[in-house]
Structure 1
Amino acid sequence: MATRLSGGALRGKGSLATIARTSGANMLILLLGTLGSILTARLLGAEGKGELAAILFWPAFLASLTGFGLPTSLIFQVKRGAPLRETAAFALSLLLPISLITGAVAWALLPQWMNAYSPEAIRSAQLYTALAIPMALAVNLIAAAAQSRGRFGVYNSIRLYVPLFNLVGLVLLWMVGALTIPAATIVYLATTAIVIALALVAMRDELGLASLKGMWNRRVAGPLLGYGSRVYGTDLLGTLYGQFDKLIILALLTPRDFGIYSVIYALSRMFNVVQSAITSVVFPKITGESKEVVIASVSRAFRLSMLLMLLAVVPAMLIGSRLIGLVFGPDFAGANAAFYLLSIECIIGGGSWILASAFNAMGRPGMVLVRQIIALAATIGLFFVFTPMMGLTGLALALLCGAFIRMAISIASMKLLFDVSLSSILSGREDLKFLKDRIKSRKKAAAAAGGEAESA
């Protein structure tokens, strides 16, 4: 009975059930990514793992740079009544040629960008980057379309099936003794293409084909580009903030360092499972609501997520640090300090992004942009101070300092711009009661639905 009730609670349509399902998807994604990382680390070693990580880095980085805020703008505009089909088609008509041009430029410049890497890795990076950039932009647009319509099942499936199919492909390569860097990149390309096709089928009623007249309607294009241009700065700086550590490793450290860092960084992201789910769900849910509703929802989500993650961080860090060398191999042991710092940074940074959703939901992405500029400038400066002295540990320390800066600016901005007291953001005596009440009400609804089904 308990299992049936909890399952019914998770099948609900409320925010809490959606966050729970998205958190569960995040956990599975993390597990699948970790299994794939273990496999490639064991078979390729630290240096080979670093070369593969560098190859996979470029398309994700460049696609984020050339998205121009359109996926976020799509969610915002559709939630405010814009037609999804025409809005998505217009965004795709802009981003597709841009992605092809970006891939061609990357093909020409990657030999200079990766001059410390092997010729085989550079050739694989050129092919993978040119083909994966348009795929990454398509995935981002489809995911945004699913979020805008509350199709979080599709949204979570997109994010889940990519690492699942990747893992299956890597295991098959390993079984036949053909797991090499070029073969792995082909698996990543094929699985992404399959997931895009499946997502388009699932969203065929919402997306379909828009007419050229509807696609280039000024009433669709103007608001989409207007909000996109305002939020693009935030997205751009968020990308630079999230990826500049890899650029520093590419510039200052070795492929072996990149391999070790890719492992400990991915493991540290396990503390962002709940927070990233909250951010994904809260923004489309609160967009268009009153200021009071937005502030109350975001503040409560921030407090609860920080409480849960801080309770979990110490035991999880201790367990994770002991498993790194044992599971991934001796090449990856000895990075405990960097792992600890990255784990704490993940929690602080995740909390700051939850707070940022309040500004985006109320049409004030400019404040998030200012926050990102200040934090990015400080973090980049600290990268060049700490990394030469302390290596990967210094890199992680710089990221942690930047996360604290982002959180402090977010809290101060909410107080100044929205006239919100610090206590209403940081203190919530009724939070746990709210959480318990929501869980109880969800169980009651599930029990009632189950009773009706049995009667029928």
Structure 2
Amino acid sequence: MAQLAIRKLLNGNGLVQTIMRTSATNFLVMVITTITSIVTARMFGVEGKGEFSAILFWPTFLVGIVGFGLPTSLIYNMKRNAGKGAEYIRAGFLFQLAVSIVVGVVSWIYLPVWLGNYSAEVIQTAKWYTVLTLPLLLAVNLIAALAQSSDNFRTYNGVRLFVPLFNLAGIAALFAIGVLSIHAASLVYLITTLLVVIWSLYQLRGELRIDWLRRMVDKAAAGSLFGYGSRVFGVELLGTLYSQFDKIIILSLLTPRDFGLYSVVYALSRVFNTVQMAISNVIFPKLTGLDKDKIISTVGRAFRLSLILMTIVVVPSMFIGRFLMGLLFGEEFLEASTAFYLLSIECILGGGSWILAASFNALGRPGLVLIRQIIALAITIGLFFIFTPLYGLNGIALSLLVGALVRMLITIAAMRVAFKVRFAGMLFDKDDFRFLIGRLREKKIMKRVGRAGGMDE
């Protein structure tokens, strides 16, 4: 009995259990990514780190602007219309295949222009890496969405964990044999992504066992998939621009050295929304299809608790962050410590606003999130061009912080107007602490029962 209870707590498919496991995966991904960043920063130096980050940046950015909302739409439609899952999957994968070819050709032609401040060797590596990695990353996004929609969070978390884990292993192997270079490291990242795609396709082989060569397209299924996708695409496109436009500004206005500094402090600051990202990734597929009151109450509680817990974590961490940055990455990275402080606060505010946005997507109202993104993006981009020439990297970080605050305030205001949610109620609810204490007590009781069961055996 005791063992069954513990197994249910740890391995169940409930919202809390899934968030706990996804949070643990996010933490592992963060640790592995940080270690990889430390290794590459130490090996390549500030400028080399900037060149390597520039190579990795473009396929990630391009995938975000040509996703057309299909991963989110796949989750939404498969949850709402389970009988047509095969048609949704087929249409999504085949469409993204065609997109990857077109975007790959455009990237090959224009990357030398986009990377005008970089050497010919870096540009050539970036061209090959972008063209070959782009279809793999598009596939990864659809595979992750398919896993989420079928509640297969084991595969979903595996996709996100194995990529950085194998990247680190590959980088360590290159270092061990003495051939660690920017070009070799890029090849490792490409091979890693390919291996994880193959593994995940095997894990989801049941869902993918469909008639891929069928000529006729189910127009109703395709209409639903691309219809909802077009509605969320604007939100996701603006989200991509919001999260990546800072890198574009650095590539355009600043130097590879600045990109190297920024890539380190930005990645380090993302440590602080580990839990919030897990909630955002889990809560949308779990809540879609439920009634409005349940969605609003669950999202609100997740937002408030995550904001409180992550604030408690970030305040002391910021004090020791500068020390750790110099110790782990090297003294030359300390000049970006102020940007790290600003980005850490921005990370928490931004993560909280995306949790709130899940309520609009789950209720089929992504247009409200689109309006929020347009306003916040316009303000942030405008501040980029004002603050970056004045303050450099600190100006970029400050612009992002202001934009994150604007996003959160607009989202809460939209919930007040659209769902009649009290403003104060979204920021504080005394029942949240009772809920949290109850969960902690439940976990403590389970541990005691487990110990007792072990002793009985």
One-letter amino acid of the counterpart of residue 68, structure 1: F
Letter matched to residue 56 of structure 2: L
Partner Cα distance (1:375, 1:248) in 2:
17
C-alpha displacement of 1:9: 2.8
Alignment of 1:84-123 (within 5 A): 84-123=85-124
8 Å contact from structure 1 (residues 63, 136) kept in 2: yes
Q: Could you tell me whether the CA contact under 8 Å between 1:69 and 1:232 is conserved in 2?
A: yes
Q: Is the 8 A contact 2:107 2:131 kept in 1?
A: yes
Does the CA contact (< 8 Å) of 1:275 and 1:305 recur in 2?
yes
Q: Which residue of 1 aligns with 2:126?
A: 125
Deviations 1:179-224 (A, max 9, x none): 1111011000000000001101111112223354497211210100
Aligned to 2:208: 207
How far off is 1:440 after superposition?
A: 4.1
Partner secondary structure for residue 370 of structure 2: helix
Distance 2:285 2:69 in 1: 15
SS state at 1:352 partner = helix
Query: Equivalent residue for 1:221?
Result: 222
Q: C-alpha distance in 1, partners of 2:307/2:414?
A: 19
Question: What is the root-mean-square deviation of aligned Cα atoms in Å?
Answer: 2.3
Report the counterpart of residue 422 of structure 1 in structure 2.
423
- Paired amino acid for 2:403: G
Provide the residue aligned with 1:347 in structure 2. 348
Distance in structure 1 (CA, Å) of the matches to 2:221 and 2:87: 7
- Aligned counterpart, 1:296: 297
The one-letter amino acid paired with 1:186 is L
Amino acid at match of 2:110: L
1:40 aligned partner, one-letter code: T
| Amino acid aligned to 2:329 | F
Are the structure 2 counterparts of residues 211 and 182 from structure 1 closer, same or farther at C-alpha, using a change threshold of 3 Å? closer
Q: For residue 30 of structure 1, report the CA deviation from its aligned partner.
A: 0.7
Tell me if the contact between 1:5 and 1:446 (Cα under 8 Å) persists in the aligned partners: no
Matches within 5 A, 1:144-293: 144-213=145-214, 216-293=217-294
Is 442-451 or 153-162 further displaced after alignment? 442-451
Question: Secondary structure of 2:335's match?
Answer: coil
Question: What pairs up with 1:12-31 in 2 under 5 angstroms?
Answer: 12-31=12-31
Give the corresponding residue for 1:67.
Answer: 67
Question: What do the CA deviations read for 1:31-64 (whole angstroms, capped 9, x no partner)?
Answer: 1111111111111100000000011000000011
3-state SS of 1:259 partner: helix
Does 2:391 match 1:390? yes
% of aligned pairs identical? Answer: 53
Q: 1:202 & 1:215 partners in 2: Cα distance?
A: 27
Contact 1:386–1:394 (Cα < 8 Å) also in 2: yes
| Pair 1:6–1:309, CA change in 2 (3 A) | farther
Q: AA paired with 1:45?
A: G
Aligned residue type for 1:425: M
CA distance in 2, matches of 1:290, 1:207: 30
Structure 1 residue 444 displacement after superposition? 5.8
Aligned in 2, Cα 1:432/1:280: closer, same or farther, shift over 3 Å? same
Please, which runs of 5 or more residues in structure 2 have no aligned partner?
A: none
Q: What is the CA deviation profile of residues 217-251 of structure 1, one whole-angstrom value per residue up to 9, with x for unaligned ones?
A: 11210100100000000000000000000000001
Shift of 1:439: 4.2
Whole-angstrom distance in 1 between the partners of 2:38 and 2:406: 33
Q: What is the distance in 1 between the residues matched to 2:345 and 2:34?
A: 19
CA distance in 1, matches of 2:315, 2:443: 31
Aligned counterparts of 1:454 and 1:220: Cα–Cα separation in 2: 55
- SS at 2:109 equivalent: helix
Alignment CA distance shift 1:298-1:56 (3 Å): same
Q: Does the CA-based 8 Å contact 2:6-2:450 persist in structure 1?
A: no
Alignment of 1:429-448 (within 5 A): 429-441=430-442
Q: From the superposition, tell whether residues 226 and 452 of structure 1 become closer, same or farther in structure 2 (CA, over 3 Å).
A: farther
| Partners of 1:237 and 1:369 within 8 A in 2 | yes
Q: Offset of 1:88 from its aligned partner?
A: 1.4
1:84, CA displacement in angstroms?
A: 2.6
Q: Report how far residue 137 of structure 1 moved.
A: 0.3
Query: Which structure 1 segments of 5+ residues have no match?
Result: none
CA distance in 1, matches of 2:132, 2:236: 22
Cα distance change of structure 1 residues 203 and 448 upon mapping to structure 2, 3 Å threshold:
farther
In structure 2, C-alpha distance between the alignment counterparts of 1:3 and 1:48, rounded to whole Å:
51
CA distance in 2, matches of 1:443, 1:203: 35
- CA displacement 1:293-329 (0-9 Å, x = unmatched): 1110000000000000111111111222111122111
CA distance in 2 between partners of 1:130 and 1:151 (Å): 30
User: Aligned in 2, Cα 1:6/1:53: closer, same or farther, shift over 3 Å?
Assistant: farther
User: C-alpha distance in 2, partners of 1:338/1:6?
Assistant: 43
Aligned to 1:410: 411
Q: What is the TM-score when the length of structure 1 is the normalising length?
A: 0.96
**Alpha carbons 1:162, 1:191 under 8 Å: kept:** yes
Q: Structure 1 counterpart of 2:111, which letter? A: L
1:51 and 2:13 equivalent? no
SS of residue in 2 equivalent to 1:334: helix
Separation of aligned partners in 2, 1:298 and 1:392: 34
Alpha-carbon distance in 1 for matches of 2:121, 2:90: 37
Measure, in 2, the Cα distance between the counterparts of 1:53 and 1:314: 28
- The answer to whether the 8 Å contact 1:352/1:406 transfers is yes
In 1, Cα distance between the equivalents of 2:455 and 2:209?
38
SS of residue in 2 equivalent to 1:207: coil
Residues 1:444 and 1:325: Cα distance change in structure 2 (over 3 Å) = closer
Partner amino acid, structure 2, of 1:341: L
Counterpart Cα distance in 2 of 1:124 and 1:438: 50
